[in-house]
Amino acid sequence: MLKFQTLSIEAAPKASQAILQNVQKATGFLPNLLGTMALSPALLEAYVTLTSIFGKTNLSETERQIILMTNNRLNGCAYCMAAHTTISLMANVPSSVIDSLRNNTPIADPKLEALRTFAGVINETRGWPSSEQVTAFCAAGYDHQTVLEVILGTSLKVMSNYTNHVAQTEVDQAFQGNAWKPSKEIQPA
């Protein structure tokens, strides 16, 4: 397979440079994922924009991370699991929730567990949940808006997880302390 480059701001296409500069200014470094996405200014812009939009949902940071990390785990994305573990820790997501997401074990809080389960359903059914699954999710305290916001978070993870799979993105030093390996049943053939 052809090796994908992780571009610096200077080496990136002009249309990607301002986005990368803003990310570096906000985070203090340029994550390898975005340096890889920079080769396609449209993908980079879509990912950064959708990340911002996902932050505008009615979901808490913990709920957003549950959706994102559930998709990361199901998609077998080691890069994003390490990154989102770090992000979750920085955002004070309870460590018990993070551990459940990394290890595919139930979350003690029934409402958050319903979200973890439903995010998995959306991923695994490719957006074809049964009416019973939607009803159970809503009975746990969520609504139809949240159903759609789970789809939004899943869409965001398709962009990053699939980019990392194809490009074999190296995990940044900032995330390496939270390295993660997918289980054997998730790893590609």
Q: Integer distance in angstroms from the first to the last C-alpha of the chain?
A: 15
pLDDT tens, residue by residue, 79-122: 999 999 999 999 999 999 999 999 999 999 999 999 999 999 99
The 10 Å Cβ neighbour count of residue 131 is 7
- Residue 5 sits at φ, ψ, to 5 deg, of -90, 145
Q: Which of 67-76, 122-131, 176-185 has the least mean pLDDT?
A: 176-185
The residue ranges of every structural domain in the chain are: 59-178
Give pLDDT, residue 126.
96
Rounded CA separation 171/106 (Å): 27
Give pLDDT, residue 3.
86
The band of 189, judged by pLDDT with boundaries at 50, 70 and 90, is very low
pLDDT tens, residue by residue, 157-167: 999 999 999 99
CA 138 to chain centre: 23
3-state secondary structure the chain: CCCCCCCCCCCCCHHHHHHHHHHHHHHCCCCHHHHHHCCCHHHHHHHHHHHHHHCCCCCCHHHHHHHHHHHHHHCCCHHHHHHHHHHHHHCCCCHHHHHHHHHCCCCCCHHHHHHHHHHHHHHHCCCCCCHHHHHHHHHCCCCHHHHHHHHHHHHHHHHHHHHHHHHCCCCCHHHHHHCCCCCCCCCCC
Identify the CATH number of the domain defined by range 59-178: 1.20.1290.10
The model's pTM is 0.94
